[in-house]
């Protein structure tokens, strides 16, 4: 995926603008937990004196007010209340479910004042999943293993006050049991994956689907038709949910 092209889309710009609106101003330090390419880290220098960009692999960011560190948000080697706030956007959906609560507690622990979280809203992770060519495991799209909504986030951040909730964009698609089953039979030819994503079972690199057979083409065509009919009668819902939690 071309990250720069993706960042320039209106959908992505709307998401980033809403995060910027929600982030508390007038503070000095921010931890960007799961910084990836550092785009948001640099954007946040508009509001903070220093931004620390953290990811599993140390981010490569060239900005005088962005510090980069390697770390795991489920177990941070950072003192309590080390930053005025923590920004965590497009990250929690990737955390292994058994470590999700630990990641949320760690962010609250190192934040002095607030935690701002952004996640896909009630994503249907059957839609766009990809089949591993090595072992046949059905992997969720983009490695999203958690489905999150207001109730789930409030439970994960039960020790802090929910200050504001915002919804942005439109959902990225839904399916149903029959269509998902047919897509599985078709080899999930339209599966969505991130660069470098590996199979959650065998660890093999996920690649583009192989050339489908005639029968697989028929299965995928029927599945797409079913989803198109479903979309005609399904209400739209937001693509993302942003939640601002205040620690005090």
The span from the first CA to the last CA of the chain, in angstroms, equals 40
State the alpha helices, DSSP H only, in 76-213: 100-110, 150-156, 177-185
Closest CA to 164 of 16, 18, 15: 18
Average pLDDT, the chain: 95
Residue span of the structural domain in which 115 resides: 3-246
* pLDDT tens profile 167-211: 999 987 899 999 999 999 999 999 998 888 999 999 999 988 778
* pLDDT tens profile 61-72: 999 999 999 999
**CATH classification at residue 137:** 3.40.50.150
- What domain count does the chain have? 1
Sort 24 into a burial class: Cβ within 10 Å, 0-12 / 13-18 / 19+.
middle
* pLDDT tens profile 136-170: 999 999 999 999 999 999 999 999 999 999 999 99
Spatial distance between the Cα atoms of 183 and 162, rounded to a whole number of angstroms: 39
Q: Where are the beta strands (DSSP E) in 73-232?
A: 83-89, 111-120, 130-131, 138-139, 161-168
pTM of the model: 0.94
Q: Residue 1: its pLDDT value, please?
A: 55
* pLDDT tens profile 229-243: 999 999 989 999 999
Buried b / exposed e along 103-116 (16+ C-beta atoms within 10 A): bbebbbbbbbebbb
Which pLDDT band holds residue 86 (cuts at 50, 70, 90)? very high
pLDDT exceeds 70 at position 29: yes
Listed in sequence order, the residues at least 6 apart from 234 whose beta carbon sits closer than 8 Å to its beta carbon are 174
The residue with tokens 């931004």 is 51
């Amino acid at each position: 995926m071309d990250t720069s092209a993706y960042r320039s889309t209106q959908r992505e710009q709307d998401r980033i603008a809403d995060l910027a609106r929600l982030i508390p101003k007038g503070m000095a330090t921010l931890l960007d937990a799961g910084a990836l390419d550092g785009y948001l880290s640099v954007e946040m220098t508009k509001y903070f004196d220093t931004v620390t960009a953290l990811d599993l692999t140390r981010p490569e960011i060239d900005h005088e007010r962005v510090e980069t560190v390697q770390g795991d948000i489920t177990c941070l080697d950072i003192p309590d209340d080390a930053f005025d706030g923590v920004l965590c956007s497009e990250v929690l959906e990737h955390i292994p479910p058994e470590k999700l609560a630990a990641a949320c507690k760690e962010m609250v622990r190192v934040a002095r004042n607030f935690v701002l979280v952004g996640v896909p809203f009630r994503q249907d992770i059957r839609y766009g999943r990809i089949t591993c060519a090595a072992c046949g495991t059905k992997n969720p799209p983009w490695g999203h293993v958690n489905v999150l909504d207001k109730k789930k986030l409030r439970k994960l951040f039960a020790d802090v006050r929910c200050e504001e909730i915002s919804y942005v964009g439109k959902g990225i698609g839904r399916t149903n049991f029959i269509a998902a089953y047919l897509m599985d039979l078709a080899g999930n030819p339209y599966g969505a994956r991130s660069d470098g994503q590996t199979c959650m079972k065998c660890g093999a690199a996920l690649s583009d689907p192989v050339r489908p057979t005639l029968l697989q083409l028929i299965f995928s065509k029927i599945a797409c038709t079913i989803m198109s009919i479903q979309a005609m009668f399904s209400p739209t819902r937001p693509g993302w949910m942003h939640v601002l939690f205040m620690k005090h």
